[in-house]
């Protein structure tokens, strides 16, 4: 995407890119920071994030009010782009892994007051790879109270290739659920 955007901008001096997402800082920030690295405007992911944050945030805002890339996967991908720009890596060198278990430390409902029922859903690009409730039913947090507040959830064998989203839900009565 950075290469295509650079080619477009270099074709004519009056070509302009308009980039935006819902809040204007996550995906927009990632792309803008990536372009700063790709074009050589800045050299490191950290410099690009700081520059974007200064330009995106109102002057006089405190450090904790600065608008910047905050999603771990977006920060990680910006680091990948930095590596690609400065020391090209072979994307074919990334290999899928098999996920067998998810371990939760101190999940809700392990304080002895009540046991909760949890559901775990693993997704990649909005496609469900694994749904614990459909595969095995809900997970009871009471099991963790007897294991030093550690809850191991066996997920069989899930092929992980690229970024995934792991969502944990507290199941309530009826159709209600609360995402953690």
What would the pLDDT profile of 132-155 be if each residue is shown by its tens digit? Answer: 989 988 887 766 656 677 888 888
User: Distance between CA atoms of 122 and 172, rounded to whole angstroms?
Assistant: 20
Phi-psi region of 145 (alpha: psi -120 to 50; beta: other; left: phi over 0): alpha
Q: How many CB atoms lie under 10 A from the CB of residue 51?
A: 15
Q: Confirm if 69 and 78 have CB atoms less than 8 A apart.
A: yes
Which residue's structure tokens are 């990649």? 124
Q: What is the pLDDT of residues 65-83, one digit of tens each?
A: 667 777 888 888 888 889 8
Which distant-in-sequence residues (6+ apart) come within 8 Å of 165 by Cβ? 122, 123, 124
Tell me what pLDDT residue 112 has: 61
User: Distance between CA atoms of 180 and 169, rounded to whole angstroms?
Assistant: 6
Q: Confirm if 69 and 33 have CB atoms less than 8 A apart.
A: yes
Tell me what pLDDT residue 111 has: 63
Tell me what pLDDT residue 121 has: 92
Polymer length of the chain: 180
Tell me what pLDDT residue 77 has: 85
Tell me what pLDDT residue 97 has: 86
Tell me what pLDDT residue 179 has: 55
Computed over every residue of the chain, the mean pLDDT equals: 80
Q: Report mean pLDDT in 10-residue bins for the chain, 180 residues.
A: 87 87 76 90 91 77 65 86 78 77 79 75 88 87 68 88 83 56
Which tokens belong to 65?
Answer: 């009010």
Tell me what pLDDT residue 17 has: 84
């Amino acid at each position: 995407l950075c290469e295509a955007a650079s080619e477009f901008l270099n074709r004519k001096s009056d070509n302009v890119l308009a980039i935006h997402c819902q809040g204007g800082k996550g995906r927009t920030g990632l792309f803008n920071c990536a372009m700063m690295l790709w074009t050589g405007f800045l050299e490191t992911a950290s410099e690009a994030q700081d520059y974007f944050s200064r330009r995106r945030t109102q002057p006089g805002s405190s450090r904790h009010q600065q608008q910047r890339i905050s999603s771990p996967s977006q920060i990680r991908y910006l680091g990948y782009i930095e590596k690609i720009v400065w020391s090209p890596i072979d994307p074919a060198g990334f290999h899928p892994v098999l996920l067998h278990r998810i371990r939760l430390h101190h999940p809700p409902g392990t304080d002895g007051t009540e046991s909760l029922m949890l559901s775990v859903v693993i997704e990649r690009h909005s496609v469900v790879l694994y749904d614990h409730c459909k595969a095995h039913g809900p997970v009871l947090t009471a099991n963790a109270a007897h294991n030093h507040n550690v809850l191991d959830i066996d997920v069989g064998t899930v092929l992980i290739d690229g970024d995934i989203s792991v969502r944990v839900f507290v199941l309530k009565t009826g159709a209600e659920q609360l995402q953690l």
